[in-house]
């Protein structure tokens, strides 16, 4: 039955061979309905590569020839001559941008590299910055990072929506270009077609729309079939209408409505099919991910941050005390400030151990008292900037003790929630916390410069903020793997029992895979609500972890096998067989997405 409809779907798409309009599905990033073009226009052109034009509206900060040409990586002189513009555009002016469109897998697209700015999500990049020339769905699909793990300075691949004319458009209508037009408020297909001197029916056909169903929405793209390159639209006189064949004598109602009906049916059945395929797809993806070899570290995407930082890495030696830059970026507190913040370190402000909660200038803060040398942690934290790593705001040195002042994570440690209040966390919250930890570790391993291994990841070293988002703390044992290559041998095994990987305990071998092992233990704690020391017996005892997890976790049946697989991979005895943190981030984002839809369905 389902098979029959797949065939039907394929026949339909062959018969029309145009591109479905994306409609309102761009406003909800979780919509992945493939009957609209949310992931991009399909690669069905006569040529696999073609010249195309996209229409963009000048909006500050993208309102000059230089800013727009650098956003789209096009030649500024070409842009200015094509648009009759010297240096600047007035706001909301239409700018024609010439690009090359080509096939990438099943989608035709024009690749762009975009540098993430403060506050960007995939949706904001696609909708606000690119005005619908890309979609959050396509961005999510073609980038490894999840939308939550984007950080300023990171570079992402942006597939711009474009398409090449089909054989039918070329031969029957003489079409040479399909312009990707960005719809604005007040536009209709009629108005847009007239502005380009194109017959409305051809535009409708190119977008698989009908006269009955011709609604267009701002911040989406509409394909406009053109015979000639578009010229400066702002002072354009429409070219003489092409010698048009008489308007098609279709009675749009009967036939079109019947077709809509079939689409609805196919849509419903397709939806059911997609749901049932998600499970299988996730399984395959997880398998593929765990088989992939670890890529060499790519520090490229970190250059933006590095250059904004005048800090000289080569001068840095953690043993030489604090680096000069630390004193510039961190606040040096006076002891009496901390005394008044914590009511003189009374027990009412104690968090247990040597941690205190206080208020400094009205803002909550966590203060940790340390004996010995804190310069390692201070130097490291002053260089890191990531949502999932606790932020150090300053420090104080008083009578031989260090006091480190951190951002306030108001929900305390993860271990408190796991051991005492476990049932209060929802499934999605748990998986989000796991993803947060993985994202923070991935940053430490792959994007910090030089890369670091945390070495003491435990559920007690994860703090939760007011929204239950995870923040990694206590980087006092973290160490750089750069100077000595990927692996470091140490004689001095430190860390927390229950979380230590076998190669570290036995040989003192330090690598990022040490954190991967500890992460596996933390995820086990998160999904079972049991302490690491208790879990250690299960792990070491060679008991069937899978059976244990299936029986003893909070996971719904559909998700348990993915999580089991992830945990088992992280806990592999041979560190070389454990996945890397970027692979883990990828798998967990998928598991989290599945869990969200599972939770919203019950
Ligand atoms: C665009 O990016 C995709 C994904 O990385 C890649 O497969 C494709 O080859 C790229 N296309 C071009 C023309 O570079
Ligand atoms: C492209 O589409 C075909 C058929 O729909 C599918 O079998 C194939 O896996 C797709 N390829 C990619 C890269 O998505
Ligand atoms: C989505 O549809 C296009 C063409 O309609 C097809 O080539 C592609 O493989 C589909 N992708 C998925 C994930 O089903
Ligand atoms: C899309 O971007 C525009 C322009 O910045 C903005 O006005 C609009 O609210 C955005 N749409 C949504 C759904 O946020
Ligand atoms: C995603 O990760 C894989 C392997 O880790 C890598 O080969 C690929 O280039 C990455 N893609 C992007 C867009 O970063
Ligand atoms: C397709 O490719 C041929 C040969 O390169 C070229 O002459 C033709 O103009 C192209 N057609 C389109 C519509 O891009």
Per the prediction, the chain carries an average pLDDT of 79
Of the residues 436, 456, 569, 582, only one is catalytic, namely: 456
Q: Which ligand is nearest to the CA of 292?
A: 5
Return the H-helix or E-strand segment holding 94. strand 94-104
Residues 6+ apart with CB under 8 A from 284: none
- Compute the distance between CA of residue 172 and CA of residue 165 in angstroms, rounded to an integer: 11
* DSSP secondary structure code for residue 148 in this structure: G
36: exposed, middle or buried (Cβ count in 10 Å: 0-12, 13-18, 19+): buried
Residue 104 CA, ligand 2 centroid: distance in Å: 11
And the tokens for 527? 């999904």
- Compute the distance between CA of residue 23 and CA of residue 367 in angstroms, rounded to an integer: 51
Write down the pLDDT at residue 72. Answer: 92
Q: How confident is the model at residue 531 (pLDDT cuts 50, 70, 90)?
A: confident
Average of per-residue pLDDT across 412-422: 83
From 105, 112, 142, 144, mutation site for ligand 5 pocket: most ligand atoms within 8 A of C-beta: 144
Write down the pLDDT at residue 137. Answer: 93
Indicate if the pLDDT at residue 284 is higher than 90.
no
Ligand 1 atom nearest residue 142's Cα: 4
Ligand 2 atom nearest residue 106's Cα: 1
Whether 10 lines ligand 2, by a CB cut-off of 6 Å, is no
- Compute the distance between CA of residue 9 and CA of residue 193 in angstroms, rounded to an integer: 29
Residue 194 CA, ligand 4 centroid: distance in Å: 26
- With beta carbons less than 8 A apart as the criterion, state whether 440 and 471 touch: yes
And the tokens for 283? 């399984």
Residue 278 CA, ligand 3 centroid: distance in Å: 14
Cα–Cα distances in angstroms (integers) from residue 454 to residues 241, 243, 257, in the given order: 67, 70, 61
Q: Which ligand is nearest to the CA of 16?
A: 3
Whether 6 lines ligand 2, by a CB cut-off of 6 Å, is no
Whether 106 lines ligand 2, by a CB cut-off of 6 Å, is yes
pTM > 0.95: yes or no:
no
In this structure, of 250-254, 259-263, 452-456, 532-536, the range with the lowest mean pLDDT score is: 250-254
- With beta carbons less than 8 A apart as the criterion, state whether 146 and 435 touch: yes
Ligand 6 atom nearest residue 49's Cα: 14
pLDDT single digits (tens) 2-13: 444 444 444 444
From 111, 138, 157, mutation site for ligand 1 pocket: most ligand atoms within 8 A of C-beta: 111
Write down the pLDDT at residue 552. Answer: 67
Residue 248 CA, ligand 6 centroid: distance in Å: 27
Ligand 1 atom nearest residue 111's Cα: 1
In this structure, of 304-308, 438-442, 537-541, 582-586, the range with the lowest mean pLDDT score is: 304-308
Percent of the chain with pLDDT strictly greater than 70: 77
Largest CA distance in the chain: 93
- With beta carbons less than 8 A apart as the criterion, state whether 102 and 110 touch: yes
In this structure, of 273-282, 341-350, 497-506, the range with the lowest mean pLDDT score is: 273-282
Three-state secondary-structure class, residue 147:
helix
Residues 6+ apart with CB under 8 A from 340: none
Q: Virtual CA dihedral for 572, 575, 581, 583, nearest 10 degrees?
A: -60
- Compute the distance between CA of residue 253 and CA of residue 230 in angstroms, rounded to an integer: 33
And the tokens for 586? 């990828």
Q: Which ligand is nearest to the CA of 442?
A: 5
Percent of the chain with pLDDT strictly greater than 90: 37
And the tokens for 484? 């000595």
Indicate if the pLDDT at residue 571 is higher than 60.
yes
Decide if 344 is catalytic. Answer: no
Whether 142 lines ligand 1, by a CB cut-off of 6 Å, is yes
- With beta carbons less than 8 A apart as the criterion, state whether 204 and 214 touch: yes
Indicate if the pLDDT at residue 42 is higher than 70.
yes
For atom 8 of ligand 2, which residue has the closest CA? 106
Helix axes 557-570, 252-291, angle to 10 degrees: 30
Q: Which residues line ligand 6 (CB under 6 A)?
A: 46-47, 50, 165, 170, 176
pLDDT single digits (tens) 207-239: 999 888 888 999 999 999 999 998 865 444 333
Residues 6+ apart with CB under 8 A from 567: 520, 523, 524, 527, 545, 549
End-to-end CA distance of the chain: give it in Å, rounded: 27
For atom 10 of ligand 5, which residue has the closest CA? 144
Q: Locate the DSSP E strands across 340-382.
A: 350-352, 355-360, 363-370
450 cis-preceded (ω within 30 degrees of 0):
yes
Computed from CA positions of residues 221, 227, 232, 233, in that sequence, does the dihedral angle turn out positive or negative?
negative
Whether 121 lines ligand 4, by a CB cut-off of 6 Å, is no
Q: Which ligand is nearest to the CA of 131?
A: 4
Average of per-residue pLDDT across 469-488: 76
Return the H-helix or E-strand segment holding 379. helix 375-383
β-pair partners for 480: 452
For atom 5 of ligand 5, which residue has the closest CA? 295
And the tokens for 84? 């009759």
- Compute the distance between CA of residue 28 and CA of residue 287 in angstroms, rounded to an integer: 28
Whether 106 lines ligand 3, by a CB cut-off of 6 Å, is yes
- With beta carbons less than 8 A apart as the criterion, state whether 91 and 63 touch: yes
pLDDT single digits (tens) 127-161: 999 999 999 999 999 998 888 888 877 889 999 99
Closest CA to 83 of 93, 92, 70: 93
Residue 124 CA, ligand 4 centroid: distance in Å: 8
In this structure, of 114-123, 230-239, 458-467, 547-556, the range with the lowest mean pLDDT score is: 230-239
Return the H-helix or E-strand segment holding 13. helix 2-16
In this structure, of 105-119, 303-317, 353-367, 588-602, the range with the lowest mean pLDDT score is: 303-317
């Amino acid at each position: 039955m389902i098979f029959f409809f797949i065939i039907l779907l394929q026949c339909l798409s062959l018969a029309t061979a145009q591109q479905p309009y994306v409609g309102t599905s761009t406003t909800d990033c979780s919509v992945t309905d493939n009957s609209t073009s949310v992931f991009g226009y399909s690669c069905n052109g006569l040529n696999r590569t073609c010249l195309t034009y996209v229409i963009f509206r000048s909006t500050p900060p993208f309102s000059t020839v230089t800013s727009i040409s650098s956003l789209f990586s096009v030649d500024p002189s070409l842009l200015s001559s094509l648009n009759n513009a010297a240096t600047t555009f007035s706001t909301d002016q239409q700018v024609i941008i010439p690009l090359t469109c080509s096939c990438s897998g099943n989608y035709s697209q024009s690749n762009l590299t975009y540098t993430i700015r403060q506050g960007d999500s995939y949706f904001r990049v696609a909708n606000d910055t690119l005005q619908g020339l890309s979609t959050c769905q396509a961005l999510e699909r073609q980038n490894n990072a999840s939308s939550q793990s984007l950080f300023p300075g990171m570079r992402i691949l942006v597939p711009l929506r474009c398409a090449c004319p089909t054989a039918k458009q070329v031969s029957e209508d003489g079409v040479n270009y399909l312009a990707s037009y960005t719809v604005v408020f007040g536009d209709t297909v009629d108005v847009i077609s007239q502005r380009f001197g194109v017959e409305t029916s051809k535009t409708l056909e190119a977008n698989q729309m009908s006269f009955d169903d011709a609604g267009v929405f701002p911040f989406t793209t509409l394909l406009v079939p053109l015979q000639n390159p578009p010229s400066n639209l702002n002072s354009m006189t429409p070219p003489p209408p092409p010698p048009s064949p008489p308007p098609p004598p279709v009675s749009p109602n009967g036939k079109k409505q019947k077709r809509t009906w079939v689409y609805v049916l196919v849509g419903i059945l397709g939806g059911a099919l997609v749901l049932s395929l998600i499970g299988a797809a996730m399984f395959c993806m997880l398998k593929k991910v765990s088989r992939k070899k670890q890529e060499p570290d790519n520090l490229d995407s970190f250059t933006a941050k590095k250059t904004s930082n005048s800090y000289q890495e080569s001068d840095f030696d953690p043993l030489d005390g604090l680096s000069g830059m630390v004193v510039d970026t961190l606040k040096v507190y006076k002891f009496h400030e901390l005394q008044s913040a914590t009511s003189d370190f009374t027990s009412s402000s104690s968090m247990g151990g040597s941690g205190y909660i206080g208020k400094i200038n009205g803002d909550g803060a966590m203060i940790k008292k340390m004996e010995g040398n804190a310069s390692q942690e201070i130097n490291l934290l002053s260089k890191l900037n990531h949502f999932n790593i606790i932020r150090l705001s300053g420090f104080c040195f008083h009578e031989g003790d260090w006091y480190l002042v951190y951002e306030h994570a108001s929900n305390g440690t993860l271990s408190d929630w796991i051991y005492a209040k476990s049932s209060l966390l929802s499934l999605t919250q748990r998986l989000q916390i796991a993803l947060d930890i993985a994202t923070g570790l991935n940053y430490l391993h792959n994007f910090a410069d030089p890369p670091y291994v945390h070495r003491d990841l435990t559920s007690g070293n994860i703090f939760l903020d007011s929204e239950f988002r995870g923040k990694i703390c206590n980087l006092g044992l973290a160490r750089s793997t750069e100077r000595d290559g990927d692996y470091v041998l140490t004689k001095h095994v430190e860390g927390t029992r229950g979380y230590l990987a076998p190669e570290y305990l036995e040989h003192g071998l330090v690598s990022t895979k040490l954190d991967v092992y500890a992460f596996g233990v933390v995820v086990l704690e998160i999904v079972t609500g049991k302490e690491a020391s208790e879990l250690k017996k299960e792990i070491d005892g060679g008991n069937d972890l899978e059976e244990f997890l299936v029986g003893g976790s909070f996971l719904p049946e559909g998700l348990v096998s993915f999580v089991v697989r992830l945990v088992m991979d992280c806990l592999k005895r041979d560190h070389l067989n454990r996945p890397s943190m970027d692979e883990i981030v990828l798998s967990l984002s998928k598991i989290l997405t599945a869990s969200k839809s599972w939770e919203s369905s019950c």
